[in-house]
């Protein structure tokens, strides 16, 4: 925090403050009053006009994070999206502050480009500071290597949300909480939310509600476009759509970033010569979408895509697994693909704790100093192998084919060959997993010649490709090809727009689309391109007399 403190906590001068007055409303607070409380919905960003405000962790008020004075602004990324605050903001003296509500904050970002850039950078860096220091957010209480603890921890990490983790086996504070709230072994992991709510072995959806990530959708609103999937393609579509005046809602059943967000390092993405982690790249896109006003709901899953008629006009009706529904003028299917699973009888016994589908800092910590096995021969597998090699004693890379070169980028092949603790086993397949009580102890693999080997390995990484996530489209009138991908290309040369599916107004982009190029850059490009197709479709609807909404009309004009 010290190296970038000036960027994290800038102080605005009198002229800059005056430029921001039109975006906010003046408020006054007496000494000792709370401007914000952790766990409560933050009204927006506070620009301090006079006095001082101290920001402290809710559970450690004697350890201040920062004190804001005149010209400083209080807030972080939660204020951009109107979610619960992560810390308490307490007036040290009488305070006069300008409250810039979340919606007006987005207006500020667009209308005051230079100031908006400085504010946006500060909000992002403050969130990074909270993540690095483990300040704010829920407290997970449970064994560090327990499957359900890892499930909750991974969800929070993938969604860029701060949290703390306490193991009752080793932490006296955790034991005290367990005793105070009478938590049984069956209740673990238990999550203590910032507002004091206690969740006993919660689902991901319950945890998402606790942190304000999952919320009720306005059933009366008609969106210009609903985007299904918050991977590179879906986020790109939402950024370009909202920046061009369209109202957009984005859904994802797990986390933003998709498979790209789980990549340890991406080195061939244009503009990042030193490489960038998938999480960092996708977090930037996620924040950018929110900056332009996209409504993002995670975790929420599409269940069925139908149609509805309002005042005689046709709209898409998206039914969700939670029972909610969304009405939109256009729909973009960007739900990507699901990880392929290994065809081994007892695989499910070890998933979540010993069998992993990505390599993040959480998994690296679990298997540090051990030998691990990794199955796969694509770029994701190569990136994961190189990443893990920096933490583990040895990576056994198990490849079914005769070489890596046929399926992996050349630079990754070279890097793998240069790592002394990566051994590539070609023409090899996993034949069995062995262990007891849900704990993996040994892995068997079979070579091309038929000989079988047994190794004492506790962690297996599977990066063997993905299948299209289209089962839910079975009764939605969307044409799929023989492999289950959305067959958008079947309508090329007709009057339909680019990326449009067999249903007018429904588009498919990214990995879910038939014959798409499975690269992050290609998905981002399709996300940008599809917005032009949406504009053309809405313009056609307007010519035919349908109501396309004020945002779409402005974009067409």
d(CA 362, CA 131): 14
Which ranges of 134-274 does DSSP label H, i.e. alpha helix?
147-158, 172-180, 204-210, 232-243, 258-261
| Shared-domain flag, residues 252 and 307 | yes
Which domain CATH number covers 159? Answer: 3.40.30.10
Which domain CATH number covers 41? Answer: 2.60.120.10
504: Cα separation from own chain's centroid: 29
Q: Is residue 216 part of a domain?
A: no
Domain that holds residue 45: 2-132
| Shared-domain flag, residues 190 and 290 | no
Under the banding of pLDDT at 50, 70 and 90, the label for residue 262 is confident
d(CA 118, CA 143): 41
For residue 492, pLDDT beyond 70: no
What is the pLDDT averaged over residues 20-46? 95
The DSSP-derived string for 230-262 is -SHHHHHHHHHHHHTT--EEEE-SS-TTHHHHT
Sign of CA dihedral 171, 172, 177, 183: positive
Q: Is residue 110 part of a domain?
A: yes
Nearest to 427 by CA among 397, 400, 398: 400
Neighbours of 184 (CB within 10 A): 9
Say which residue the tokens 């957010």 belong to. 137
| Shared-domain flag, residues 104 and 143 | no
Under the banding of pLDDT at 50, 70 and 90, the label for residue 1 is low
For residue 549, pLDDT beyond 90: no
d(CA 290, CA 113): 16
Contacts of 18 (CB under 8 A, 6+ apart): none
**420 phi and psi angles, rounded to 5 deg:** -70, -25
Which domain CATH number covers 484? Answer: 3.50.50.60
pLDDT digits 0-9 by tens, 325-375? 999 999 999 998 888 899 999 999 999 999 999 999 999 999 999 999 999
Query: Which residues is 213 bridged to in the sheet?
Result: none
| Shared-domain flag, residues 126 and 18 | yes
Report the pLDDT value the prediction gives residue 557, as an integer from 0 to 100. Answer: 36
126: Cα separation from own chain's centroid: 18
Last residue of a domain, one of 444, 464, 484: 464
| Shared-domain flag, residues 418 and 529 | no
Q: Is residue 215 part of a domain?
A: no
Cα angle 478-479-483, degrees, rounded to a multiple of 5 = 120
Last residue of a domain, one of 158, 186, 210: 210
Number of residues in the chain = 557
| Shared-domain flag, residues 11 and 126 | yes
Report the pLDDT value the prediction gives residue 550, as an integer from 0 to 100. Answer: 47
Report the pLDDT value the prediction gives residue 554, as an integer from 0 to 100. Answer: 41
d(CA 500, CA 483): 19
Q: Is residue 438 part of a domain?
A: yes
Q: Is residue 426 part of a domain?
A: yes
Last residue of a domain, one of 464, 482, 510: 464
Report the pLDDT value the prediction gives residue 494, as an integer from 0 to 100. Answer: 58
d(CA 480, CA 497): 18
pLDDT digits 0-9 by tens, 505-548? 999 999 999 888 888 999 999 999 999 999 999 998 888 875 55
First CA to last CA distance, the chain: 46
Percent of the chain topping pLDDT 90: 76
| Shared-domain flag, residues 329 and 378 | no
Mean per-residue pLDDT of the chain: 92
Report the pLDDT value the prediction gives residue 546, as an integer from 0 to 100. Answer: 53
d(CA 172, CA 154): 24
Radius of gyration for the alpha carbons in the chain, expressed in angstroms and rounded = 25
| Shared-domain flag, residues 113 and 9 | yes
| Shared-domain flag, residues 450 and 516 | no
d(CA 290, CA 270): 23
Looking at the structure of the chain, the number of domains it has is 4
Q: Is residue 48 part of a domain?
A: yes
| Shared-domain flag, residues 439 and 486 | no
For residue 293, pLDDT beyond 60: yes
Quote the pTM value.
0.90
Nearest to 73 by CA among 89, 58, 86, 60: 89
Q: Is residue 206 part of a domain?
A: yes
Buried residues in 436-474 as b, exposed as e (16+ CB within 10 A) = eeeebeebebeeeeeeeeeeebbbbbbbbebebbbebbe
| Shared-domain flag, residues 457 and 536 | no
Report the pLDDT value the prediction gives residue 553, as an integer from 0 to 100. Answer: 41
pLDDT digits 0-9 by tens, 56-66? 998 888 899 99
Q: Is residue 329 part of a domain?
A: yes
| Shared-domain flag, residues 115 and 145 | no
Is the backbone peptide bond immediately before 299 cis, with ω within 30 degrees of 0?
yes
In the structure encoding, which two tokens stand for residue 290, read together?
């929110």
Under the banding of pLDDT at 50, 70 and 90, the label for residue 489 is low
Report the pLDDT value the prediction gives residue 491, as an integer from 0 to 100. Answer: 56
d(CA 63, CA 223): 44
Sign of CA dihedral 498, 504, 506, 508: negative
Report the pLDDT value the prediction gives residue 82, as an integer from 0 to 100. Answer: 87
């Amino acid at each position: 925090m010290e190296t970038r403190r000036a960027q994290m906590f800038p102080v605005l001068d009198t002229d800059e403050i005056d430029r921001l007055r039109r975006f906010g409303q003046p408020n006054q607070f007496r000494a000792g009053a709370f401007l914000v409380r952790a766990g409560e919905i933050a009204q927006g960003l506070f620009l301090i006009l006079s006095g001082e405000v101290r920001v402290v962790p809710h559970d450690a008020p004697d350890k201040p994070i920062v004190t804001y004075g005149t010209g400083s602004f209080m807030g972080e990324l939660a204020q951009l999206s109107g979610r619960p605050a992560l810390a308490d903001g307490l007036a040290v003296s009488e305070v006069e502050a300008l409250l810039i509500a979340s919606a007006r904050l987005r207006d500020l970002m667009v209308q005051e480009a230079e100031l908006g850039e400085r504010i946006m950078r500060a909000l992002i860096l403050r969130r990074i500071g909270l993540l690095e220091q483990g300040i704010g957010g829920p407290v997970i209480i449970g064994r560090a290597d327990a499957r359900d603890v890892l499930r909750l921890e991974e969800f929070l990490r993938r969604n860029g949300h701060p949290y703390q983790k306490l193991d009752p086996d080793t932490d006296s504070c955790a034991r005290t909480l367990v005793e105070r709230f009478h938590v049984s072994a069956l209740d673990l992991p238990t999550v203590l939310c910032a507002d004091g709510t206690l969740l006993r072995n919660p689902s991901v959806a319950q945890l998402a509600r606790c942190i304000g990530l999952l919320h009720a959708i306005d059933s009366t609103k008609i969106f210009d476009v609903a985007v299904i999937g918050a991977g590179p393609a879906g986020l790109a579509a939402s950024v370009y759509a909202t920046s061009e005046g369209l109202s957009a809602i984005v859904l994802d059943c797990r986390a933003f970033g998709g498979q790209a967000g789980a990549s340890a390092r991406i080195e061939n993405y244009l503009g990042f010569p030193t490489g960038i982690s998938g999480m960092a790249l996708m977090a930037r896109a996620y924040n950018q979408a929110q900056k332009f006003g996209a409504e993002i709901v995670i975790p929420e899953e599409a269940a069925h895509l139908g149609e509805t008629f309002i005042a005689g006009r046709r709209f898409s009706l998206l039914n969700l697994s939670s029972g909610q529904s969304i009405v939109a003028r256009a729909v973009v299917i960007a739900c990507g693909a699901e990880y392929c699973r290994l065809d081994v009888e007892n695989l499910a016994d070890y998933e979540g704790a010993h069998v992993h589908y990505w390599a993040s800092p959480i998994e690296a910590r679990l298997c540090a100093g051990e030998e691990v096995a990794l199955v796969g021969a694509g770029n994701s597998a190569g990136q994961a192998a190189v990443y893990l090699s920096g933490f583990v004693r040895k990576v056994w890379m198990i490849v079914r084919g005769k070489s890596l070169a046929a399926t992996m980028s050349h630079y990754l092949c070279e890097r793998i060959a240069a790592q002394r603790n990566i051994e590539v086993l070609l023409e090899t397949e996993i034949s069995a997993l062995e262990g007891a009580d849900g704990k993996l102890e040994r892995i068997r693999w079979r070579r091309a010649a038929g000989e079988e080997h047994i190794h004492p390995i506790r962690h297996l990484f599977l990066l063997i490709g993905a299948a299209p996530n289209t089962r839910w489209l079975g009764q939605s009138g969307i044409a799929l090809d023989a492999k289950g991908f959305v067959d958008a290309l079947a309508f090329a040369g007709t009057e339909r727009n680019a990326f449009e599916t067999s249903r007018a107004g429904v588009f498919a982009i990214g990995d879910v689309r038939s014959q798409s190029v499975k690269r992050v850059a290609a998905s981002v490009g399709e996300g940008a391109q599809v917005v032009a197709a949406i504009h053309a479709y809405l313009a056609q609807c307007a010519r035919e007399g349908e109501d396309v909404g004020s945002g779409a009309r402005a974009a067409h004009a």
